[in-house]
Amino acid sequence: MGLKGFVEGGIASIVAGCSTHPLDLLKVRMQLQGEAHAPTQAVQSLRPALAFHTTTAVSAVHVPPPRVGLITVGVRLVEQEGLAALFSGVSATVLRQSLYSTTRMGLYDILKKKWTDPETRSMPLASKILAGLIAGGIGAAVGNPADVAMVRMQADGRLPPAQRRNYKSVVDAITRMAKQEGLASLWRGSSLTVNRAMLVTASQLASYDQIKEIILEKGLMRDGLGTHVTASFAAGFVAAVASNPVDVIKTRVMNMKVEPGMAPPYKGAIDCAMKTVKAEGPMALYKGFIPTISRQGPFTVVLFVTLEQVRKLLKDF
């Protein structure tokens, strides 16, 4: 019975992850905007023009790239890298969902069954949140190597051609990271991944169950597609608000390029957060929020709608 929850959650997560991958990629690109040590191609192309019009050496001054929105980032990406670039790192997404989401969904299902009151057939909100925190943390620790690979593959196209890693696949990315940067690099940013996953899983799964229960108890809608979509979209919004700051820091720490013999751009999560806020202001922690909610909403809807359908198909097994 316990294994069934892992299978159902895994199938739903892979479908949701693949269908919303382009939005996740745009979110990563937007979260990396404005990093002082990682100028984009757009900024580099501006530098000759800027140097021509000013007597100050541009190389001595950090020129922050203009912040652009979701649609502009998407259009530029397709123009510069082609339509297929929207699915850069999709193999890592499949592996990540297979490891991280399958684990968290399965564990949450086990804890939910264990902690649900058999008489009332309900579970207190605090227990749902605790189950989400535990399941999310364990799932993230399992899936971190795929998460690092996915972030790097998604971010690669924004680097100048000479600095690109050009990973062929998620297996190539993980193998090269282990060889070139050591096995520990596969768990770079793992504390952030775990914290983010705990927040996402607790807010996403607990709020979905809670909102769905309220809708059904109050008789606002019957148990069907409308209820599932409403509850899952609300859960996606809650998860996006809770996780975005940790997500921005996670993306930057995982993507940082550590040159041999040189100090890394960030010493860790706290250092990254402080440098980001100091250089770009507190709202930098909500960079990529529009694509986060644009992705988290549909992802959560596809996840739970698919999950409910898979449960119906597998109910006799």
> What's the Rg (C-alpha) of the chain?
21
What's the mean pLDDT in 285-313? 88
- The b/e string for 154-191 (b: 16+ C-beta within 10 A; e otherwise) is bbbbbbeeeeebebeebeebbebbeeeeeeebbebbbb
Question: What percentage of the chain has pLDDT greater than the value 70?
Answer: 89
Tokens, residue 145: 């190597």
Please state, rounded to an integer, the average pLDDT across all residues of the chain.
83
pLDDT of 37 > 70? The answer is no
> What would the pLDDT profile of 215-267 be if each residue is shown by its tens digit?
999 889 988 889 999 999 999 999 988 888 888 888 888 778 777 778 888 88
CA 30 to chain centre: 12
Inform me whether the pLDDT recorded for 52 exceeds 90: no
Query: What is the average pLDDT across 52-65?
Result: 44
| Res 304: pLDDT | 93
CB atoms within 10 A of CB 113: 13
**If you average pLDDT over residues 90-114, what whole number do you get?**
90
Instruction: State whether the Cα torsion 229-98-289-208 is positive or negative.
Output: positive
CA gap 265, 271 in Å, rounded? 9
Tens of pLDDT, residue by residue over 171-205, are 898 999 899 888 888 888 788 788 888 999 999 99
pTM for this one? 0.71
Domains in the chain and their CATH numbers? 2-33+71-313 (1.50.40.10), 35-67 (no CATH)
- Rounded Cα distance, 150 and 254, in Å: 10
pLDDT tens profile 106-119: 999 999 999 998 88
Q: Find out whether 42 and 135 touch, Cβ atoms under 8 Å.
A: no
Tell me, what's the pLDDT at 300?
A: 92
CA dist 160 and 42 (Å) reads 10
Q: What percent of the chain has pLDDT over 90?
A: 31
- 139-179 confidence digits (pLDDT tens): 999 988 988 888 888 888 877 888 888 888 888 989 998 99
